[in-house]
Structure 1
Amino acid sequence: MQNDPVIARSASQVGLDRLSSLIDRHATGFGTPTVVDHQLLVSVNEQAAAEDLRYVPMVCFVARGAKSLLVNDETLMVSRGEMFVGVIDAAVSAAFEAPYRAVTLILDERILANLIVELNEDGRSGHPVDRVFATAIMDERLLDAVSRWVQLNDEPAHAATLSRRVEDEILYRVLIGPLGGSLTRAMAPGHIATVRLATAYLAKKIAHKVSLAELAAVAHCSPSALAKQFRLATGTSPMRFHKQLKLQRARQLLATGSYTAASTASAVGYVSASQFSRDYRQRYGVPPLQHARAL
C-alpha cells in the first residue's frame, strides 16, 4: 500500500512545528551559539532590509519562514522544510521572511571526511556535483535527527557526549540525500576542493592583497586552472570574490562608528581610499560614510 501524500505532508508539518518550537526555546537572537558543538540557532521576528553575512561551510535547516540569498549575483530561496548546503567561505546578502527559524550545522572537515570514507567503502556515496551552494527538501528522518540535535540543549550535562553521535547521523542523512554530492565533491580531490581551499585563504586575507599566483599556490594548481575552476564553481573570479569579502567587512567596520572611510579602506587592504569609495558605492549604492550613518 502506498503512503498517503496528505498524511506524509501532515507529519512533516508537525515535525517542522516541533523543530521551530525547540529553536524558540533556546534561541536568544540572530545566530545564537549553543552548548551543542557546531550548532547555531537563528531567530528573526521582523522583516528587515537584506543583511550582509559571512557564510562558512555549513548546512542550514529551515523550520519556519524563508530566506533569500544573493551569492555572487545568483539568488537562492530556502523555505520552510528545506535545507541549504554551502561548502565555501562566502559573502552573501540575506533577506528573511519573518518569522524565520532555522538551525545551522557548521561543518567540521574531519568529521565529514571520515563519514565520506565510510560511505565510499560501503558504496553508498552520492554522485558528485559541481555546485558550491544548493538546496533540497528535508525528509522526515533527517528532520527528526535535527530536532533531536536541537533538543540536546534541554540536557546540557549530556550534550557534549551525545551531540557528536546525532551530528554524525545528520551528516550521514545529508550525504545519502540529494545534497550529498555537494559535500562529497567539496572534500574529494577536484576543482570544488580546490576552490574551497582558495576561498578559505581569501577569507583569512581580507586585509591583504592576494595575487592569483599566490592563491594558485595555496590551492595547488596553476593560475589559469584556478581562474577557470573558480568561475565554474562560484560564477565569479577570485579577485572579485575577494573584493566582495573586503567590502562586506568594511560595512561591518563602518557600522561600529569608530572608522572613517580612509581608516576603513586601510583596514580591509585598500591602498587608495578613492578606489575604496568607488567600489563601495558600486556595491551598496551609497558612499561609505553615508552608509555608516544609515546603519
Structure 2
Amino acid sequence: MKVDDGVNELRSELVAYIEKYTGEDGTHTTRIPDLQLIRSSEKTERIHSIHEPALCIVAQGKKVMMLGNETYLYDPTSYLVVSLQLPVSGQVLEASSERPYLCLRLNFDKQRIFDLVKQSVKSSQKTSDSQRALFISKMNRILIDAVVRLIRLLDTPEDIPVMAPLITQEILYRILKEEQGQSMKQFAMIGSHAERIAKVVQMIEGEYNQPLQIASLSAAVNMSPSSLHHHFKEITAMSPLQYQKQVRLQEARRILLTEAVEAADAGFQVGYESPSQFNREYARMFGMPPMRDIKRLRDSLGFVVN
C-alpha cells in the first residue's frame, strides 16, 4: 500500500539521520532542544531509570520496556509514549555492529502539553477514568513525517530556533489526537484524578527517603486513601509504596556506583533502616546483592571512583 511505502521511506530516512548524527554507541544530545539520539551496536542488559515524559521511536532494532509487572515491546512499526515520570527498566533486544539499534527520543515539556490541551480539548471531553501513563501505538505516516521534518533541521541549524518549536508542537498534537492520547491529556486537566496523582508522584520523589504517609498524601490532593491507591495503580502499574521502593533502590544504586560508601550507608541514605531488608530488596530488583552488583557494573563500565 502507498501509505506503508511512505512510512518505510520515511523510516529509512530516519535511520540515515540517526546514523549520521551519532557515529558511536551512546545517548547523544542534539542542537534541537529535548531531542536525543540513541545508538547501540549490541544487545544490552536490563537498564533501570526514572523515565521522564517523552516520545520514543525505534528506527532500527527492537527494545522492551518493563513497568511494574508489565512488558512493552516496541520496534520500528510502533512508537512509545511516557506521559509521567515513571521508574522503568529497558533492554535492547535486537542490535549488531552491522545493524545497530537506533532510537529517537523527544522529551516533553509539561507546560507545552498543558497549553496545547487547553487549546484543543473541550471540557465535555473530561473523563474520571485514569489511564496508564505509558503506551505503545502503531506508527503512522503523519507522525513519522513530522518527526523526520524535525530531525532534518539538524542539517540547517539556523532554522532550529524558529522551526523546531513549531514541529514539536505538531508532533504533540498528532499524539494527542490518537486514540491513546488521553494518556497525556489526563494530566493537563485541572482537578482530574491523573493531575492529582501527578502531584503525589512529585511528593514521593521529593521525599523518597522519608516514611510513606498515605493519609498525608491523600489529604494533600483531596482524595481518599482508597481512591488514591486505585488511581495511582491505574496510572503507574504499581502502588505508591512500590513506586517509592523503586525510586529508593535506583538512587541507592547510583550512590553506590559513584561514591565510596558501604551498602548499609547507601540504604540508610535512601530511607532504609534495616540493612538486611535493603540487601534483600536490592537483590530482588537488580538480580544480586548490592556490592556484587556494583563491582560487576564498574568492571563492565571501566568505572573508577575517586
TM-score, length-scaled by structure 2: 0.86
**Alignment CA distance shift 1:121-1:257 (3 Å):** closer
Q: 2:265 aligns with which of 263, 266, 276?
A: 263
Give SS of 1:49's match.
Answer: coil
Paired residue total: 290
Structure 1 segment 280-295 matched on structure 2, within 5 A: 280-295=282-297
Verify the 8 A CA contact 1:125 1:175 in the aligned structure 2. no
Give, as a single letter, the amino acid of the residue that structure 1 aligns with 2:150.
W
Tell me which residue corresponds to 2:171. 170
Tell me which residue corresponds to 1:38. 34
Verify the 8 A CA contact 1:206 1:269 in the aligned structure 2. yes
Moved more, 206-215 or 242-251: 206-215
Give SS of 1:179's match.
Answer: helix
Tell me which residue corresponds to 1:70. 66
Gapped regions of structure 2 (runs ≥ 5): 298-306
Verify the 8 A CA contact 1:116 1:184 in the aligned structure 2. yes
**Alignment CA distance shift 1:33-1:213 (3 Å):** farther
Q: 1:227 aligns with which of 201, 226, 229?
A: 229
The offset of 1:64, in angstroms, is 1.3
Moved more, 96-105 or 74-83: 96-105
Q: Does 1:17 align with 2:20?
A: no
Verify the 8 A CA contact 2:130 2:194 in the aligned structure 1. no
Verify the 8 A CA contact 2:128 2:192 in the aligned structure 1. no
Tell me which residue corresponds to 1:202. 204
Identical residues among aligned pairs (%): 26
| 1:207-248 deviation line (CA, Å, top 9, x unaligned) | 333321333244342323211211222232101111011112
Give, as a single letter, the amino acid of the residue that structure 1 aligns with 2:86.
A
Moved more, 167-176 or 253-262: 253-262
Alignment root-mean-square deviation, CA: 2.4
TM-score, length-scaled by structure 1: 0.89
Task: Return the alpha-carbon distance in structure 2 between the equivalents of residues 154 and 267 of structure 1.
Answer: 46
Give, as a single letter, the amino acid of the residue that structure 2 aligns with 1:30.
G
The offset of 1:141, in angstroms, is 1.7
Give SS of 1:93's match.
Answer: strand
Structure 1 segment 1-295 matched on structure 2, within 5 A: 5=1, 7-27=2-22, 29-96=25-92, 97-98=94-95, 99-120=100-121, 130-188=131-189, 189-256=191-258, 258-295=260-297
Gapped regions of structure 1 (runs ≥ 5): none
Task: Return the alpha-carbon distance in structure 1 between the equivalents of residues 135 and 255 of structure 2.
Answer: 30
**Alignment CA distance shift 1:124-1:50 (3 Å):** same
**Alignment CA distance shift 1:122-1:201 (3 Å):** closer
Give SS of 2:72's match.
Answer: strand
Verify the 8 A CA contact 1:250 1:268 in the aligned structure 2. yes
